[in-house]
């Protein structure tokens, strides 16, 4: 009985958000209604599958449903729009720009991931909890810190000052961790 109710609430919430998104002027009532229905479905998923899998299903099912709605409603380009796109010449970036993008990607994924892990481990090690609680805190805070560091670096205009601050933070985290 819980599965049909969870599916119904989830699919109705996704459809409400989708229909609001497709209108020229989105309706705030539909948006609020959609999010409330999705939030009401979370406890049902949790009761059905447990907290770990319930939250995963509560996040995955709306994403798959939205993808399905978008793919069902997809309309191919008209012939005139296709011809207009064919006439454009693609500009390929130079080697230097590709290397800069690759370095930025590696810095954001590997570098900031390692930095976030170092900082959360160092801070968790200073707390008066047991080893299990410190590990749990690290596992919960690490992805949030990694995403925050990445957003802060990519949103800033002066990347060198951001990078310097992050390197100083990593040095202090290494000092605290060791």
Task: Take residue 120 and report the two structure tokens written for it.
Answer: 């959360």
The per-residue pLDDT for 6 is: 94
Task: Take residue 159 and report the two structure tokens written for it.
Answer: 């990347």
Asked if 18 contacts 31 with a C-beta cutoff of 8 angstroms, the reply is no
> For the chain, what is the total number of helices (H) and then of strands (E)?
7, 0
103-135: pLDDT as tens digits: 888 888 888 888 888 888 888 888 888 888 888
pTM: 0.49
Q: Place 86 in a pLDDT band, splitting at 50, 70 and 90.
A: low
Please state the domain extents for the chain: 2-72, 95-177
Nearest to 121 by CA among 63, 86, 79, 169: 169
């Amino acid at each position: 009985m819980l599965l049909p109710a969870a599916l119904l609430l989830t699919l109705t919430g996704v459809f409400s958000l989708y229909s609001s998104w497709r209108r020229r002027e989105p309706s705030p009532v539909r948006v609020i209604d959609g999010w409330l229905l999705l939030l009401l479905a979370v406890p049902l998923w949790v009761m059905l599958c447990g907290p770990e899998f319930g939250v995963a299903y509560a996040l995955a099912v709306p994403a798959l449903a939205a993808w399905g709605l978008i793919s069902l409603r997809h309309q191919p380009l008209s012939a005139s729009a296709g011809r207009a796109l064919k006439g454009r010449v693609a500009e390929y970036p130079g080697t230097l720009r590709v290397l800069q993008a690759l370095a930025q990607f590696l810095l954001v994924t590997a570098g900031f991931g390692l930095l976030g892990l170092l900082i959360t481990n160092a801070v968790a090690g200073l707390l008066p909890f047991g080893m299990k609680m410190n590990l749990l805190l690290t596992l919960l805070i690490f992805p949030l810190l990694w995403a925050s560091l990445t957003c802060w670096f990519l949103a800033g205009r002066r990347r060198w000052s951001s990078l310097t601050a992050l390197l100083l933070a990593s040095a202090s985290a290494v000092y605290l961790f060791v």
